[in-house]
Amino acid sequence: PMGSHEGRPGPARCTALRLLYFIHTDRALDLTTMECMQLYDLFREAARYDLDRLASLCHRQIRIKLRAEFVLLILRDCYDSRSRVSHVQTPSSSHVRSLIETCKYFFLNNYAECAALESCETLDPRLLCDLMRCMTVASQSHSLGTTAGGNGSGGRLNSPSRGFSGASADVHVAPSPGEDGSAAFAYQRRCPLAPILVRASTLQYDMQRLLHEDNQGDFEVVVQGEVFRCHRFVLAARCQYFAMLMQSGMSESQENRLVLPDEATSMTATGFGTFLEYVYTGTTTMV
């Protein structure tokens, strides 16, 4: 069960439901209607359970909705999670590292606004040192650039407007007019944000693997003497006949075994294998 874990409560009901919906369908419920921190909670659970596609979808929406107060909350939680030593699994995947880089970039891109928030003082000291080091490098790079060019602000830090300057969350951020010499964008040139790649759905492949590679099925069907090990939840969800059978209280349901007599059905073992392929994956190899 997805209960609470050290230092942080378990996922809220809406987050858990969205997580389960994705696991069952490989589709995310409308993420555009979620608030930034709700997206982060869902992202965190997706990273925890290695749901790469969902984590990427959440990260993409987080970039769109990111604000200064959310950046600090996310950074603090990510660093707190990484510093815990516990038997409980905490997400430390490439997705989390990528989100940290997104938040660092936003912080530097909107330094004045982020630094003015009281919650900035609660960030992990290591994170603050890292951010300040990035700011120093960016300022020095800007100072060298403006000195060589003979113009500019002489190294003064100009924070662009909040957010990502209205750019798409999936492409490198372009500087606003007149701000291409700012320290934040000097940092961008040194460490640009990579586009967020969202993998194609793997549901069909996953279900195919479940059918052919999992020998721990909880329901048997015997056709022409050949035993097919299946999964009750798949059969019941995809086929009304099996759904009614498993709810009927008949001996087959109680014993988790159905034998199709040769004389009472025209079904062959090969035909039932094709039937199972369709039930699990929605496709068949029939021509």
pLDDT tens for each residue of 114-144: 888 888 888 888 888 888 887 787 676 656 5
> Across-strand partners of 221?
228, 258
The mean pLDDT of 236-261, rounded to a whole number, is 91
Neighbours of 117 (CB within 10 A): 13
Residue whose tokens read 């392929």 = 277
- pLDDT higher at 165 or 97: 97
pLDDT tens for each residue of 184-214: 444 444 456 778 889 999 999 999 999 999 8
pLDDT at 173: 35
Smallest CA-to-CA distance from 145 within 180, 174, 173 is with 180
Q: Is the predicted pLDDT of residue 9 greater than 60, yes or no?
A: no
Pairing of strands 226-230, 219-223: antiparallel
- pLDDT higher at 283 or 43: 43
Indicate the pLDDT class of residue 80, thresholds 50, 70 and 90: confident
- pLDDT higher at 172 or 238: 238
- pLDDT higher at 145 or 241: 241
Indicate the pLDDT class of residue 26, thresholds 50, 70 and 90: very high
Q: Is the pTM of this model over 0.75?
A: no
Q: Is the predicted pLDDT of residue 179 greater than 70, yes or no?
A: no
pLDDT at 58: 96
pLDDT at 147: 54
C-beta separation of 274 from 263 below 8 A: no
C-beta separation of 54 from 42 below 8 A: yes
Long-range CB pairs of 272-277, under 8 A, 24+ apart, other chains included = 272/221, 272/223, 272/228, 273/228, 276/211, 276/228, 276/230, 277/208, 277/211
Q: Treating both helix axes as pointing N-terminal to C-terminal, what angle do 13-25 and 36-48 enclose, rounded to 10 degrees?
A: 50
242: amino acid identity, one letter:
F
Task: Return the SS3 of 230.
Answer: strand
The mean pLDDT of 217-221, rounded to a whole number, is 93
Smallest CA-to-CA distance from 138 within 163, 175, 170 is with 175
The secondary structure of residue 32, as a DSSP letter, is: G
Indicate the pLDDT class of residue 285, thresholds 50, 70 and 90: confident
H or E, element range at 136? helix 125-149
The mean pLDDT of 270-279, rounded to a whole number, is 93
